[in-house]
Amino acid sequence: MSETNSYELYYWPTIQGRGEFIRLALEDGGATYVDVARLPEERGGGGKAIVHILRSDSELRPPLAPPILKVGTRVMSQTANILQFLAPRLGLVPEDEESRVWAHGLQLTVADFADETHDTHHPIAVSLYYEDQKVEAVRRSELYVAERMPKFLKYFERVLRQNHAGKGQFLVGTAHSYVDLSMFQILSGLGYAFPNALSALEPELPLLFALKVRVSARPRIAAYLASERRIPFNQHGLFRHYPELDRHGDQPNGISGTSKA
């Protein structure tokens, strides 16, 4: 359909962040799209392009925050919502409603996991610098590494294992879907932010780690990851690497004896 030539993604131009889940779907689906804020300002790009949409007082359906997808005159927001819209158009989800509801529920759990991961470095407020909430971040991260990260990852491993039809390879049904792409992104981000904690869990997550390798080898994903379009992980995004928040080598499960900071 003609709309596939007019996808415009609005997301912060210097980070992967939540926008990356959408970039991966657009790339893997072979969509033609414009990553608007990465264009130069003189061509309508830059962060200004996003702020312009957010501040519009004439927009009938104003979004609160990026990522935002424009398709012709339509404007939509919320990462999982955008993915749900794109997936059938890009061949990234099965046709039947039951599979789509299941896929979307998984994607929302991915979103919860991403939110909790973000809050390890911002447990008090997004308006404060990390340095101004570091004490709380250390305390939160210790429990995140010990409890939440294993809980989410073991859940997704279990989803793969119990999906007999997919032979442990796919989160949804018998074929690759947008949820697999998002899981690849989560695992990549955790490998950057919490390398020690993720390594310690790896033996318990064979299906997830195999999925990550398989997704990274998909031709369009491999090409994307090798391109300049893939922004490197950095200390401004959703996943940030602060060594003091990661698991320490001598901790059996991430909990030290003096955690009550």
CB environment 9-33: b (16+ within 10 A), e (fewer): bbbbbebbbbbbbbbbbbbbbebeb
Among 19, 45, 66, 123, which residue interacts with its own copies (rule: CB under 8 A)?
123
Helix/strand/coil (H, E, C) string of the chain? CHHHHCEEEECCCCCCCCHHHHHHHHHHCCCCEEEHHHCCHHHCCCHHHHHHHHHCCCCCCCCCCCCEEEECCEEEECHHHHHHHHHHHCCCCCCCHHHHHHHHHHHHHHHHHHHHHHHHHCCCCCCCCHHHHHHHHHHHHHHHHHHHHHHHHHHHHHHHHHCHHHCCCCCCCCCCCHHHHHHHHHHHHHHHHCHHHHHHHHHHCHHHHHHHHHHHCCHHHHHHHCCCCCCCCCCCCCCCCCHHHCCCCCCCCCCCCCCCC
Is 2 a residue that touches its own copies (CB under 8 A)? no
Q: Name the residue nearer to its own copies (CB basis): 5 or 259.
A: 259
Rounded to the nearest whole angstrom, what is the least distance from the CB of residue 169 to its own copies in the complex? 15
Q: Does residue 81 touch its own copies according to CB under 8 A? A: yes
Asked if 1 interacts with its own copies (CB under 8 A), we say no
- Please report whether residue 84 would count as binding its own copies according to CB under 8 A: yes
* Among 14-22, 94-102, 178-186, 220-228, the segment contacting its own copies (CB under 8 A): 94-102
- Number of residues in contact with its own copies, rule: CB under 8 A? 46
Q: Does 127 bind its own copies (CB under 8 A)?
A: yes
Contact region with its own copies (CB under 8 A), list: 36-44, 150-158, 182-190, 221-229: 150-158
Q: For the segment 154-183, give every residue that binds its own copies (CB under 8 A).
A: 155, 158-159, 162-165
One residue of 7, 25, 27, 78 binding its own copies per CB under 8 A: 78
From candidates 32, 42, 61, 243, binder to its own copies by CB under 8 A: 61
Residue 32 sits in the site that holds its own copies (CB under 8 A): no
| Residue 117 binds to its own copies (criterion: CB under 8 A) | no
Q: Does 244 bind its own copies (CB under 8 A)?
A: no
The C-alpha atoms of residue 212 and residue 190 are separated, in whole angstroms, by 12
Which spans of this chain sit near its own copies (rule: CB under 8 A)?
57-64, 74, 76-78, 80-81, 84-85, 98, 101-102, 104-105, 108-109, 112, 115, 119, 123-125, 127-128, 136, 139-140, 143-144, 147-148, 152, 155, 158-159, 162-165
